[in-house]
């Protein structure tokens, strides 16, 4: 083994199949808006990629408030996929996103197979840079297929909890795009490995996991659920052990590169996910607590690799196995 001095460079380049990122730190869908809100605190240009809020074919008002409930080291949300809809997203948000010096992952959600096909083909047209300004980022870098949102009554999680429909959704997207397709898995299933295999046969290029865990909180004063929608998705440090376990299982079940997420708040957490088998990590709820978290995590990852003598951050992926 080659010996390194303490000051050596660690290659942060992250290859997720054909999706190449400058580093393995991504921001998670729904927690980073459309890239503008946190720009003043944590420049998108220092991130591997950003994932935008889930888009649906038509605009959605989402669920009524209260949409948030705090739990020990966790957050329940029932935003319910509030978003401007595909058309408005393409016209008003995408041009600004394309200017960012980072890879942009567009998260899509639907209520039918047609919804997913429609969005994939509409976004396909915008997947290539339109001019020199956009060439640096390259328009849209990948599509993340959200088959796992627990906050909507029909569709959404139904696709994410049934292997056959999960496979069909991924196939529908895949047929309508040349972009790398990331299938985002729901943790609200008995056998996560089975779901991973299903999206893999559907043609997914990358798997991201986990989305939020379905949960509930009841106010003992009013004796009613805190969330107007009654149930919501649990995120934050509280769910991390569940997410690590699932990344570990999926790594053994399929060959695809994985994006790990679920409660990552520190660089140590990120290392844990990579050892479990994630090639990249996504930061969600932690942004709310510390808007610099993605940068601090990146720095910690790099230092960890340097101190341990790795020349590429990818060398630690999956080391917890075998």
Ligand X SMILES: Cc1cc2nc3c(=O)[nH]c(=O)nc-3n(C[C@H](O)[C@H](O)[C@H](O)COP(=O)(O)O)c2cc1C
Residues near ligand X (CB under 6 A): 28-31, 53-54, 75, 77, 79, 81, 107, 146, 149, 184, 211-212, 235-236, 239, 261-264, 283-286
Under rule CB under 8 A, residue 67 binds other proteins: yes
User: Applying CB under 8 A, does 73 fall inside the site for other proteins?
Assistant: yes
130-138, 151-159, 285-293, 305-313 -> range binding other proteins (CB under 8 A): 285-293
CA dihedral angle for residue 58, residue 56, residue 233, residue 229, rounded to 10 degrees: 10
> Is 203 among the residues that bind other proteins (CB under 8 A)?
no
**Contacting residue, 64, 95, 138, 241, with other proteins by CB under 8 A:** 64
> Closer CB to ligand X, residue 130 or residue 153?
153
Phi-psi region of 209 (alpha: psi -120 to 50; beta: other; left: phi over 0): beta
Give the binding-site size for other proteins (rule: CB under 8 A).
Answer: 35
Using omega within 30 degrees of 0 as the cis cutoff, is the peptide bond preceding 11 cis?
no
Q: Does 287 bind other proteins (CB under 8 A)?
A: yes
Residue 72 in contact with other proteins, rule: CB under 8 A? yes
To other proteins, the closest distance from the beta carbon of 38 in angstroms equals: 6
End-to-end CA distance of the chain: 20
Q: Which is nearer to ligand X, 10 or 234 (CB)?
A: 234
The distance of closest approach from Cβ of residue 66 to ligand X in the complex, given in angstroms and rounded to an integer, is 13
What single string gives the DSSP state of each residue in 135-147?
Answer: HTTTS--EEEEE-
Active site residue 42: no
Query: By the 8 A CB rule, do 97 and 35 touch?
Result: yes
Q: Are 260 and 281 in contact (CB under 8 A)?
A: yes
Show contacts with other proteins in window 236-265 (CB under 8 A). Answer: 236-237, 265
Q: Which residues touch 232 (CB under 8 Å, ≥6 apart)?
A: 67, 69, 76, 77, 78, 150, 151, 212, 214, 215, 216, 217
72 binds, among other proteins, ligand X, none (CB under 5 to 8 A by kind): other proteins
* Residue 211 interacting entry, from other proteins, ligand X, none, C-beta within 5 to 8 Å by type: ligand X
Q: How far is the CB of 30 from other proteins (least distance, A)?
A: 7
What per-residue string of b and e applies to 231-260 under the rule 16 or more CB within 10 Å gives b?
A: ebbbbbbbbbebbbebbbbbbebbebbbbb
Active-site pick, 119, 143, 149, 185:
149
Q: If binding is defined by CB under 8 A, does position 61 make contact with other proteins?
A: yes
* Partner residues linked to 285 by β-bridges: none
Q: Which of these segments, 24-32, 121-129, 207-215, 245-253, binds other proteins (CB under 8 A)?
A: 24-32
SS3 annotation, 263-321: CCCCHHHHHHHHHHCCCEEEECCHHHHCCCHHHHHHHHHHHHHHHCCCCEHHHHCCCCC
- Tell me: does residue 88 bind other proteins (CB under 8 A): no
Distance CA 72, CA 124 (A): 41
Q: Can you give the binding site for other proteins, defined by CB under 8 A?
A: 30-33, 37-38, 40-41, 53, 61-62, 64-70, 72-75, 77, 79, 82, 236-237, 265, 285, 287-292
Tell me the catalytic residues: 149
């Amino acid at each position: 083994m080659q010996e390194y001095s303490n000051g050596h460079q660690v290659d942060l380049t992250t290859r997720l199949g054909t999706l190449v990122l400058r580093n393995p730190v991504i921001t998670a869908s729904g927690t980073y808006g459309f890239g503008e809100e946190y720009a003043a605190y944590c420049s998108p240009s220092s991130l591997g990629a950003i994932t935008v809020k889930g888009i649906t074919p038509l605009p959605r008002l989402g669920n009524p408030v209260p949409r948030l409930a705090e739990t020990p080291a966790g957050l329940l949300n029932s935003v319910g996929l509030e978003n401007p809809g595909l058309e408005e997203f393409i016209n008003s948000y995408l041009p600004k996103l394309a200017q960012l010096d980072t890879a942009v992952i567009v998260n899509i959600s639907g209520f039918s197979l047609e919804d997913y096909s429609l969005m994939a083909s509409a976004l396909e047209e915008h997947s290539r840079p339109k001019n020199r300004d956009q060439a640096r980022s390259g328009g849209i870098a990948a599509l993340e297929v959200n088959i796992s949102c627990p906050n909507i009554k029909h569709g959404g999680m139904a696709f994410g909890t049934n292997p056959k429909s999960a496979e069909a959704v991924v196939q529908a997207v895949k047929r309508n795009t040349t972009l790398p397709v990331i299938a985002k898995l729901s943790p609200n299933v008995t056998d996560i490995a089975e779901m991973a295999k299903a999206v893999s046969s559907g043609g997914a290029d990358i798997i991201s996991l986990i989305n939020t865990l379905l949960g509930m909180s009841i106010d003992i004063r009013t004796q009613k659920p805190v969330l107007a929608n009654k149930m919501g998705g649990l995120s934050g440090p509280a769910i991390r052990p569940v997410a690590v376990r699932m990344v570990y299982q999926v790594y053994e079940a399929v060959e695809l590169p994985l994006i790990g997420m679920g409660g990552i708040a520190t660089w140590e957490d990120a290392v844990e996910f990579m050892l479990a088998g994630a090639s990249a990590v996504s930061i969600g709820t932690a942004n709310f607590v510390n808007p610099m978290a993605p940068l601090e995590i990146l720095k910690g990852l790099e230092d960890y690799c340097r101190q341990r003598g790795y020349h590429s951050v990818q060398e630690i992926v999956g080391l917890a196995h075998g």
